Amino acid sequence: MNDIKDERKLLVFTYLLCIMCFFNVSIVGNIIDRSALILGIVMCVIISYSYIIIKRFFPDGDKYILVFSSILNIIGIVELYRLNQLLAIKQTLWYTLGNAIFIIIVIVVSDLKAFNRYKYLYLIVTVLLMALGTFLGQEIGGAKNWIRIGAFSFQPSEFGKITLIAYLASVLEDYGTQKQSRKFSIFDNVFDKYLKKYDIHESYKSLIEPALVVMVCLGFMVLQKDLGSALILFAISVTMLYIATSKFKYVITCIILFAIGSVISYCMFSHVRIRIEIWLDPWKYAYAQGSQIVQSLIAIVSGGLSGAGLGLGKPWLVPVVTTDFIYAAICEEFGILVGIAVIILYFLLFYRLMRAAVSAKDNFSRLLAVGYSTMIASQALVIIGGVTGAVPLTGITLPLVSYGGSSLVITYFSLGIVQKISEEGI
Residue closest to 336 by CA, chosen among 377, 381, 384 = 384
Give the pLDDT confidence score for residue 273 in this predicted structure.
81
DSSP for residue 287: T
The residues facing 149 across adjacent strands are 152
**Residue 8 — very low, low, confident or very high, per pLDDT cuts 50/70/90?**
confident
Residue 246 pLDDT level (bands cut at 50, 70, 90): confident
- Report how far apart the first and last C-alpha atoms of the chain are (Å, whole number): 16
Beta strands in 124-167 (DSSP E): 138-140, 143-149, 152-154
List, for residues 362-407, the tens digit of each pLDDT value: 888 899 999 999 999 999 998 998 888 888 877 788 999 999 888 8
pTM of the model: 0.89
pLDDT of residue 1: 45
The pLDDT assigned to 16 comes to 93
Residue 198: its pLDDT value, please?
A: 43
Quick one: average pLDDT of 218-244? Answer: 86
The DSSP line for 295-355 is: HHHHHHHHHTTT-S-TTTS-GGGSTTTTTTTHHHHHHHHH-HHHHHHHHHHHHHHHHHHHH
Q: Which of 71-85, 279-293, 407-421 has the lowest mean pLDDT?
A: 279-293
Q: What is the mean pLDDT of residues 236-248?
A: 88
For the segment 157-185, the average pLDDT, to the nearest whole number, is 76
Please determine, for residue 281, whether its predicted confidence score (pLDDT) is greater than 50. yes
pLDDT band at 205 (very low <50, low <70, confident <90, very high): low
Q: Phi/psi of residue 383, each to 5°?
A: -75, -35
Contacts of 241-244 with C-beta under 8 Å, sequence gap 24+, read 241/168, 241/172, 241/207, 243/357, 243/366, 243/367, 243/370, 244/172, 244/173, 244/175, 244/363, 244/367
pLDDT at 350: 94
Written as one string, the DSSP assignment of 55-86 is: HHH-TTS-THHHHHHHHHHHHHHHHHHHH-HH
Pairing of strands 138-140, 143-149: antiparallel
The answer on pLDDT for 91 being more than 90 is yes
pLDDT of residue 199: 43
CA distance 108 to 322: 34
Q: What is the pLDDT of residue 396?
A: 81
pLDDT tens sequence across 309-364: 887 888 888 888 888 889 999 999 999 999 999 999 999 999 999 998 888 888 88
